Amino acid sequence: MDDTIAAIATAPGAGGIAIVRISGPQAEAIARYLFRMKNGKPPILETHHLYHGHILSPEGGIIIDEVMVALMRAPRSYTGEDVLEIHGHGGYLLPQRILEEVIKAGGRLAEPGEFTKRAFLNSRMDLSQAEAVADMIAARTERGLELAQAQYQGRLSEGIEKLSTEIADILARMEATIDFAEDTNDLPEDKTIPKRLQNIVRDLNRLAASYGEGKIFKDGVSLVIAGRTNVGKSSLLNHFMGRQRAIVTPIPGTTRDFIEESVRIHDIIVRLTDTAGIRETGETIEQAGIDMVWKRVAAADAVLILLDGSEEMTAEDIEVIEKLHGKPLIPVINKADLPQILSENEIFRILPGKVAIRISAKYGNGMEDLKEAIYGHFCQVRSDNHSSEIITHLRHRLAIERAVFHLCEATVGAIRDVSPELTVADLRDALDALEEIIGKTANDMILTRIFASFCIGK
């Protein structure tokens, strides 16, 4: 924290503006050393003002770039430290040259996420808000962005703080029975504690259950397109992409490897995987592709099983469906542009409860219905209550589940009137688990893992 860190805060490459960000005790000194006003004089820097001038190389007095600089003095800055931002021309070389001069002047290259980590350590935000910064940057749909912004604004933190305060209050009452054990006759028995604990557990379980929805909107879903050869898997992928991404020929076994692309369906990102056609083959390369199909299927959130509507269901079709038993399936009948032989009833007989979507991957017929079916499969109960807390990180869910376990133990202890020391220990563990979410009890390993996933400069 005594170091002054620096990094290019904008994306690399050609652009109108590039920003070099500096944070730490030497930020203002670096500005005075490298920056000159248009008249060649060092600036008198006021906080939160923009100044126009040049960044110089002090060694040769050479102008590196014409820039705007802003100094934001602590604590009114992103990190809570003195922060200097140098706004120069975008590109590959100019920002790098400015950064090199900053390093020579006493800064060091920031680690991934170190600016946000300092903001957390300086109490500018809690840990869940810090995670939301990365989520906002990575968001690819409106709903994903909404969830990240709600978390950044403290909606999750407020909910966790409220429940933590309730647990802390119960903990204080239980500790009082221990501290004043000799005077327990003077302390009225609180018979509301079991019910209060049960209400907290109910709220936490509801929050933990939201992870499934949150993960879908944050990370997207994976959908494997599977089926026997020549049912139109590659044509379907091409239609989703709006371009020829996969080679399509009437020759069976054209697709040997898998092709993965992402598409947006409403407010979720779907990672589509086109796979090799599944059939008996003695060809080594094609068999390797088929073996890979099953590996992709095992890792997928669901499988789109594609069938040829212009033919009767084959033994290969049935074998593929049987091998997919237990996997979430979306049955689709392709080639609706040809005379139809395969019926929906046949699909329903083999896959009870499943309604097949009939499409033409070649001409696009039925594609909107298919998109709705895919969206509905993953978002069967869409939450329109944007004010409710939804968690999007596995770390949060696991911490909540630990808290629920200890609260349930404490509830049993309170009902059965077991030793209050045991109940107090469970309440403390539950409180620690919840406070880990917002960073009050997070250890160095958790912090390192979280901020290592950030980009440099944020």
Q: pLDDT tens for residues 33-54?
A: 999 998 877 788 999 999 999 9
Same domain? 303 vs 447: no
Weakest-pLDDT range from 8-22, 104-118, 171-185, 391-405: 171-185
Work out whether strand 35-37 and strand 13-23 pair parallel, antiparallel, or are unpaired. Answer: unpaired
Same domain? 366 vs 253: yes
What pLDDT score was predicted for residue 434? 96
> Is the Cβ–Cβ distance between 151 and 131 less than 8 Å?
yes
Same domain? 365 vs 285: yes
Same domain? 327 vs 224: yes
| pLDDT band (50, 70, 90) for residue 247 | very low
Read off the amino acid at residue 135: D
- What is the rounded (10 degree) CA torsion for 335, 336, 338, 343? 100
- Its pTM stands at 0.82
**In what side-by-side order are the strands of the sheet with 302-308?**
259-265, 268-274, 221-226, 302-308, 329-334, 357-358
Single residue among 349, 378, 407 that ends a domain in this structure: 378
Residue 53 lies in a domain: yes
Domain of residue 421 covers 132-210+389-452
What pLDDT score was predicted for residue 251? 42
Same domain? 282 vs 412: no
pLDDT averaged over every residue in the chain: 87
Single residue among 110, 140, 175 that ends a domain in this structure: 110
What is the spatial distance between Cα 124 and Cα 133, in angstroms, rounded to a whole number?
Answer: 13
What pLDDT score was predicted for residue 59? 83
What pLDDT score was predicted for residue 256? 42
Looking at the 3D structure of the chain, how many domains does it have?
3
Instruction: Please give the average per-residue pLDDT across 391-396, as a whole number.
Output: 95
What pLDDT score was predicted for residue 245? 54
Same domain? 270 vs 360: yes
Weakest-pLDDT range from 69-78, 79-88, 114-123, 238-247: 238-247
For residue 381, pLDDT over 60 is answered with no
Close Cβ partners of 210 (under 8 Å, ≥ 6 residues apart): 383, 388, 389, 390, 391
Find the CATH number of the domain harbouring 54.
Answer: 3.30.1360.120
Same domain? 66 vs 106: yes
Stronger pLDDT, 426 or 276, i.e. the higher one: 426
Residue 126 lies in a domain: no
For residue 248, pLDDT over 70 is answered with no
Stronger pLDDT, 333 or 247, i.e. the higher one: 333
* 85: enclosing H helix or E strand: strand 83-91
Residue 384 lies in a domain: no
What is the spatial distance between Cα 447 and Cα 425, in angstroms, rounded to a whole number?
Answer: 25
Same domain? 157 vs 74: no
Residue 120 lies in a domain: no
Residue 397 lies in a domain: yes
Find the CATH number of the domain harbouring 284.
Answer: 3.40.50.300
Q: Tell me, what DSSP letter sits at residue 341?
A: -
Q: Is the peptide bond before 75 cis (omega within 30 degrees of 0)?
A: yes
Residue 169 lies in a domain: yes
Residue 92 lies in a domain: yes
Single residue among 324, 345, 378 that ends a domain in this structure: 378
E-strand stretches of 291-366: 302-308, 329-334, 357-358
Q: Mapping DSSP to helix (H, G, I), strand (E, B) and coil, where does residue 369 land?
A: helix
> Is the Cβ–Cβ distance between 112 and 456 less than 8 Å?
yes
Task: Output the six-digit token pair for 105.
Answer: 């002047």
Same domain? 394 vs 347: no
133-149 pLDDT per residue, tens: 999 999 988 999 999 99
Same domain? 253 vs 330: yes
What is the spatial distance between Cα 129 and Cα 136, in angstroms, rounded to a whole number?
Answer: 10
Same domain? 365 vs 394: no
What pLDDT score was predicted for residue 420? 84
Residue 425 lies in a domain: yes
Same domain? 152 vs 288: no
